[in-house]
Structure 1
Amino acid sequence: MAFVPVFVTCLILAAASVTEVGLVSDMVSFLHIQKWFVKTYQVDWPNKSIPFGALPAHLWLDQGHTTNGAAGYGFVLGVFGLFVAWKQRNRNGKAPSRSLLALTILLLLSTLFTLSAIIFVFLVTHQTSGQTIDPALAQANQHYPADKWTPETWYKALLNTPLADANKRSEIRTHVHLMEAWRWMLIPLFLADVAALAAAVTGVLRQRKSTPLDYPPEK
């Protein structure tokens, strides 16, 4: 019976996707506040104290857009999967369901999309990790010009500077933890995709095995 496993796994997929979208949205909101309201942080280096640009000149945001796309697609697909699963009740002896087959194909695409997002996000994060902010290149009220950064790696580097405001440091640290959370949340999202795909494939195979060959597919 396809109803229970497909319903449960699609519910988990929808929940994981909503969580991921929420975490990424927090980062987007934080970056908008940094750009339009905060603008600078006072940094007290030993040889100079300057208002330092809150964002670097070269900030990489594509990984956030990719993750948001994968999570948004996963949520829509999870909700669609709940509808499809509900239609699979008491289908014994009936023709195979076209909607379940369509869900299976879409879940395969979602799984590949999320896997590509994981590879991209972790690769970009690895490439920009370990970078530091050079005080010699920092100019008052200017965006830091060197290197490319992700929001996570930029604010980790900023935490290693002598920020004058301890409250700002605490706020940045909180948002860095949330950025790390959405990056790692991609893995549970991928596992939810795989589980939903496995349930859908199993449901399709069982329907085909238990259906006479002369039945046309039903919606």
Structure 2
Amino acid sequence: MALKRSLLVPIGLTTFLLGIDAAVSLGLVSSMVAFLHSYGGGPFPVAPPNGAPFLIAGEPANLVTDQGHTANAAGGTALILVGFGGVLALWLERRSRKKWDRSSPVFYVWAVIVLLSFLLTMVALIYTFVETSMTGGQTIDLGVAEANPAPTRYPDGRWTPENWYAALLELPLVNPNNRRVISGNLGMMRGWRWNLVALFVLGFVLLVLVGLEVWRVRRRDTQRVSMAEVLGDPAK
């Protein structure tokens, strides 16, 4: 069934929600980065049940963070180009339709940006969950950690920040405050990973709405041209 009514209002609402979610994503990732460069660097005292206390560096030797950079890029694109850019595109689109009864070229450019932003979010979502899954399920070997005390970083394995600090919490940390701070920041790390799902869903909904609106406008314009040709042809 053909769409007769404009979808600019639901597009605007979805764009607003996407921008808010993108801002949340950027905030959570930035919080993780700040933690890694400050408190998360450690070292943290550990008291093995059958050994002498020692210090463990706050980050492992093989810490992977590219998934965080990708998520940051997806959030930034969704906020700046889709969110703020959408405000301009939708305003110009309304103005163009009201004055000249046609679409603004900026709206079509923005529609392409919405598509590219959705693809970037999809890549970030898949990459992050795959990387987390591939590096998950590991534990920190106290023997290896004790043999490589801080400032030497734990040498074994390959870790995402989320998996590393989850494993760190399984150790007998001496300071309860360390456990509290690490646990709080671990929650934010898990938060930005799962927030990518919401960003993906909102991006998909926006892409569908924009695609339907572009299709509706193009179909309407085609019908107008066809009708003009019929009315303008005396033989018809």
Q: Determine if the TM-score, normalized by the shorter chain, exceeds 0.5.
A: yes
Which of these residues, 40, 45, 50, is aligned with residue 43 of structure 2?
Answer: 40
Report whether the alignment pairs 1:140 with 2:143. Answer: no
Larger Rg: 2
**Percent of aligned pairs sharing the same letter:** 35
Aligned pair 1:129/2:136, yes or no?
A: yes
Distance 1:191 1:39 in 2: 37
Do 2:128 and 2:193's aligned partners in 1 also have CA atoms closer than 8 Å? Answer: yes
Tell me the secondary structure at the aligned position of residue 95 of structure 1.
Answer: coil
Matched, 1:62 2:66: yes
Which deviations, in whole Å up to 9, do the C-alpha atoms of 1:86-131 show, x marking residues without a partner?
2232627723332221111111111111111111000110011110
Report the CA distance between 1:197 and its aligned residue.
Answer: 1.1
Contact 1:2 1:85 survives alignment (8 Å): no
- Correspondence for 2:107 among 100, 103, 109: 100
SS at match of 1:131: coil
Deviations 1:58-84 (A, max 9, x none): 100100000000000000121111221
Question: Greater shift after overlay, 25-34 or 202-211?
Answer: 202-211
Alpha-carbon distance in structure 2 between the residues aligned to 1:87 and 1:58: 49
Contact 1:52-1:143 within 8 A present in 2 as well: yes
CA distance in structure 1 between the aligned counterparts of 2:110 and 2:201, rounded to whole angstroms: 17
1:113 to 117, 120, 127: 120
Matched residue SS, 2:94: coil
- Higher RCO (C-alpha 8 Å, min separation 6): 1
Q: Does 1:52 align with 2:56?
A: yes
Residues 154 and 134 of structure 1: is their aligned pair in 2 closer, same or farther, counting only changes over 3 Å? same
Stretches of structure 2 lacking an aligned partner (at least 5 in a row)? 1-5, 229-236
Equivalent pair of 2:93/2:103 in contact (CA under 8 Å): no
- Is the CA contact 1:34–1:55 (under 8 Å) kept in the aligned structure 2? no
Task: Number of aligned residue pairs: give it.
Answer: 213
TM-score, length of structure 2 as denominator length: 0.85
Of 206, 217, 225, which residue of structure 2 is paired with 1:213? 225
Q: Distance in 2 between matches of 1:166 and 1:150?
A: 23
Aligned equivalents of 1:193, 1:28: Cα separation in 2: 25
Q: CA deviation at 1:13?
A: 1.2
Give yes or no for contact 2:18–2:199 (8 Å, CA) kept in 1. yes
Distance in 2 between residues matched to 1:41 and 1:213, nearest whole Å: 72
* Partner in structure 1 of residue 200 of structure 2: 190
CA-atom RMSD, angstroms? 1.8
Contact conserved, 1:6 with 1:81, CA < 8 A, in 2?
Answer: no
Name the CA distance, whole Å, in 2 between partners of 1:79 and 1:177. 29
